[in-house]
Chains A and B, each alone.
Chain A
Amino acid sequence: MRMISNIGKWLDRRLQLEAPIRDIAEHAIPRRSASWWYVFGSGALTVFILQIVTGTLLAFVYVPSAGEAWNSLQALNHQVTLGWFIRAVHGWGSNFMVAIVLIHMVQVFLFGAFKFPRELTWLIGVCLLLMTLGMAFSGQVLRFDQDAYWGLGIGASIASRTPLLGPYLVKLILGGPIIAGATLSRFFALHVFIIPGLLIASVSLHLFLVLKLGINDWPMPGRIVTKATYAKQYEDLLKVDGAPFFPYGIWKDMLFSSFILFAILACALFFGAFGPSGQPDPTIIQTVPKPDFFFRWIYALLALLPPSLETPALLLGPVVVIAVLVLLPFLAGEGEKSWRRRPMAVLSVILTALTLGMFTHLGQYSPWSPIMNAWSAQPTPEMFLHNRTALERKGAAVFQEKQCRNCHALGGSGGLRGPALDTVASRLTQDELIRQVLQGGGNMPAYRDNLTPPETTALVSFLATLHRPGQPPAYDASRSVVETSNSDAAGGHR
């Protein structure tokens, strides 16, 4: 014990760090700010450190080469002792990191912590959010599998739409003419050197500002922030109701951090590592690429935006979002802090969360994607074939063979790209069915060149059987008139 204390003294005689560390640990915070609401920043820092440790461990085995990366991930998963576990922790750590950073940001926003004098802290926080998302995307690329390969193609396609600079940006992202070795190498540099370096620097500055300016005071409705009076108010608050961060505040941070670490550990153990999915071999085209969870909402947006809005939304959307985040502390740097007196702030958080949540949910089951093997893997349910004529059954076969099922569901199975056809005959008359099949429209391809007249007749006679039970199929009243007059005319000739 004595020896340790002596070594400590020897070191501090030279480093002289004891006093500044004590100052930092015991800096005064407003007593009410020692709250469970204030633990997300330190939680994010804990996960960040975990990511650095596990990321470094992965780099012991991972090979950043387009030819070898996938194999090295297989080795990590199956050969290296506990390689799968380190991958799982890094993967789950990344999900927790994004989630906690987002929650931290919402808390800061709702508690008005971005207001004077903490504008710069907020701005650096915005950069940290963007870098965290950059890490999540580049990390997905380093898991160099089919999703990563085609995801890069999507990234390049988006970048290519930039006016004038598009083609140059594509080559800048890819590092060459195609998605290949150079692409992975530059994403490795981004994920392992550039962004982490910037993150460490920005996190340090972020923390430095928190210490310098003090943690945000608990927002009280009616306690207005003004540039003239805030510093004095905060100082008085610390005098009246201040307490040292250690131990009054830190214990909640420590408990939350350990909770998060155990949660990541549990997820890693129970759910395991993410992928990799199939090999990054572009000639294997039997693949349905999907982005990772936190980018699913973009995937959904890209499928649902009208084509004419897509490019402007892709190019202007991020600019507008970043501009709003950057301008926020300057446009609303003073005034009420409490969310109880800021209904628009609460509404915008709810609206954003609902929007992102809804698009993420849609991205999860992607109803806009045709199910590529529905036509061969999901047979027509039996109930649609009972008591049908030979022609109608032939029509069911045509329906199956022409891949209609890839986009249309029957009996709850099949694609969701087009409407389910269980009761299509209740909506469309035979003539309308023929027109729709041959001419397409409403986001359906025209089949006139791919169906012979007998096939069309069979198909439509099958579709005409798909109506609600006990309800006749849709019928065009004028049809009987035409048919009668036709037969009259025919009879007249006889």
Chain B
Amino acid sequence: MTTTDGTISRRGLIVKLGVLLNSAAALAFAIPIVRYLFEAFSRPDAKGYLSWISLGPTSQFPEGETRLATYRNPYVTPTDGRTADLPCWVRHIQAEQFQVFAINCAHLGCPVRWFAQSGLFMCPCHGGVYYRDGSRAAGPPERGLFTYDCKVEGGNLLIHAGELPTPGSPAAAVSQRKPLCA
């Protein structure tokens, strides 16, 4: 590409220009592709996944009992089908005091089941067990059940949800601070 006297030949220059132009084009494609692929990394909360969702009138949940409730996830896509219908456990403590637990075991996310007779939540996967207030009773979980923030408005029970609770997600840590809803 360089001539014997050290200057760059015309073809050499054009080849270099070609490399440069194609690199620029590759970069122009790469930026949107990477952002498309790694949307989760660039703006995790821009979509506003979390919002207040109604679980229905509080009269559905008798005082002193724990019942399964379902809600439609606030963020859905057309192909979600039934996967966007999510369950949670509602514990009506008394009057307007509620606790709403995620269905997902705090160990690895399997669906916990409520046993009213023994007042325990049991997980079928690795044997995590929780008391009626969601605190850890036995098994591998390192903490209690994930709790959604909740409130009563116009006779309806509302929870702040929209993301899969996992042991490492910040949402899980936040909700742990405010277990009771009044």
Chain A residues with CB under 8 Å of chain B are: 65-68, 149-150, 153-154, 156-162, 166-172, 174, 176-182, 184-185, 279-283, 285-289, 299, 302-303, 305, 307, 310, 368-370, 372, 375, 401-404, 406-407, 417, 440, 443-447, 449-450
| Cβ proximity bits B38-79 to A, threshold 8 Å, 1 near / 0 not | 111100100101100000000000000000101001011111
B103: which of A171, A176, A282 is its contact (CB, 8 Å)? A282
Interface presence of B168 (CB below 8 A):
yes
| Cβ proximity bits B158-174 to A, threshold 8 Å, 1 near / 0 not | 00001110111110000
Measured between beta carbons, the chain A residues less than 8 angstroms from B111 are 150, 282, 285, 287
Measured between beta carbons, the chain B residues less than 8 angstroms from A285 are 68, 87, 103, 111-113
Interface contacts beyond A157-B167, A179-B164, A282-B103: sample of 7 additional A-B pairs, CB < 8 Å, sorted by A: A167-B166, A170-B40, A177-B49, A180-B73, A279-B82, A368-B139, A369-B125
Chain B residues with CB under 8 Å of chain A are: 38-41, 44, 47, 49-50, 68, 70, 73, 75-87, 103-104, 107-113, 115, 117-120, 122-127, 129, 131-132, 137-142, 162-164, 166-170
In angstroms, Cα B119 to Cα A450, docked, is: 6
Known A-B contacts A177-B73, A302-B126, A440-B138; the reply to A167 vs B80 at CB < 8 A is: no
Q: List 24 A-B contacts (CB under 8 A).
A: A66-B80, A67-B79, A153-B109, A156-B109, A157-B107, A166-B168, A167-B44, A168-B41, A171-B44, A176-B77, A177-B162, A179-B164, A283-B85, A285-B113, A286-B113, A303-B140, A372-B124, A401-B117, A402-B117, A417-B127, A444-B138, A449-B132, A450-B118, A450-B120
In angstroms, Cα B129 to Cα A440, docked, is: 12
Measured between beta carbons, the chain A residues less than 8 angstroms from B164 are 153, 156, 170, 174, 177-179
Are B75's CB and A176's CB within 8 A? yes
Are A156's CB and B86's CB within 8 A? no
Nearest chain A CB to B118's CB is how many angstroms away?
4
Known A-B contacts A176-B77, A180-B76, A283-B86; the reply to A161 vs B110 at CB < 8 A is: no
Are A168's CB and B80's CB within 8 A? no
In angstroms, Cα B164 to Cα A282, docked, is: 12
Known A-B contacts A153-B110, A402-B117, A402-B118; the reply to A166 vs B79 at CB < 8 A is: no
In angstroms, Cα B118 to Cα A372, docked, is: 13
Known A-B contacts A66-B83, A153-B110; the reply to A447 vs B169 at CB < 8 A is: no
Most buried by A among B47, B78, B138: B138
Measured between beta carbons, the chain A residues less than 8 angstroms from B120 are 403, 445, 450
In angstroms, Cα B118 to Cα A445, docked, is: 10
Are A154's CB and B82's CB within 8 A? no
Nearest chain A CB to B95's CB is how many angstroms away?
20
Are A66's CB and B38's CB within 8 A? no
Are B140's CB and A302's CB within 8 A? yes
In angstroms, Cα B120 to Cα A401, docked, is: 13
Which 7 residue pairs are nearest across A and B when measured between Cβ atoms? A67-B81, A160-B168, A171-B40, A181-B79, A166-B168, A153-B109, A160-B166
Closest to B106 in A: A157
In angstroms, Cα B32 to Cα A378, docked, is: 59
